[in-house]
């Protein structure tokens, strides 16, 4: 694959699965009830569906970049800003594009995002990709 400034990372649709939140809460040792109990979410005024863990949202972005590259070892950094919650049952789109190419190393610096259908971001940031495998 040859990438240049403006090359897009193929969009990938994800469905936020509330069943994935339960084992992930155990793995993260994150007992926060907003990931498990919709009543707590309602009481806090955050909506009526459980809220996905941030690391799962970041994982969607990482997976989209990995699918594009075909090799997870090429993703060298992921720097993300979380701007909104993702809720159980929500359909989201991951995407991005190449913003810079380091001509000497071949490293790619990309904008990445996890976005709702209304165009609002759940998270956005940058991914760096090693150039050796491209």
Q: What's the pLDDT tens digit per position in 60-86?
A: 999 999 999 887 678 899 999 999 999
Token pair of 21, please?
């939140």
Please choose, from the candidates 91, 73, 79, 75, the residue with its C-alpha nearest in 3D space to the C-alpha of residue 12: 91
Q: What's the pLDDT tens digit per position in 70-126?
A: 876 788 999 999 999 999 999 999 999 999 999 888 899 999 999 999 999 999 999
Q: From CA 17, how far away is CA 2, in angstroms rounded?
A: 34
Q: What's the pLDDT tens digit per position in 19-46?
A: 888 888 888 888 899 999 999 999 999 9
User: Which domains does the chain show, CATH number per domain?
Assistant: 8-129 (3.10.129.10)
Residue 81, C-beta contacts closer than 8 angstroms, at least 6 positions apart: 123, 124, 125
Residues pairing with 102 in the sheet: none
């Amino acid at each position: 694959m040859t990438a240049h400034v403006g090359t897009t990372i193929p969009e990938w649709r994800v469905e936020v699965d509330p069943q994935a939140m339960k084992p992930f809460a155990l793995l993260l040792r994150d007992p926060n009830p907003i990931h498990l109990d919709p009543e707590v979410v309602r009481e806090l005024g955050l909506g009526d569906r459980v809220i996905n863990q941030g690391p799962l949202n970041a994982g969607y972005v990482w997976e989209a970049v990995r699918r594009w590259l075909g090799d997870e070892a090429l993703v060298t950094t992921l720097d993300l800003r979380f701007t909104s919650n993702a809720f159980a049952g929500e359909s989201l789109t991951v995407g991005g594009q190449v913003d810079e190419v380091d001509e000497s190393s071949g490293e790619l610096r990309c904008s990445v995002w996890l976005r709702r259908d209304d165009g609002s971001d759940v998270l956005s940031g940058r991914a760096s990709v090693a150039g050796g495998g491209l």
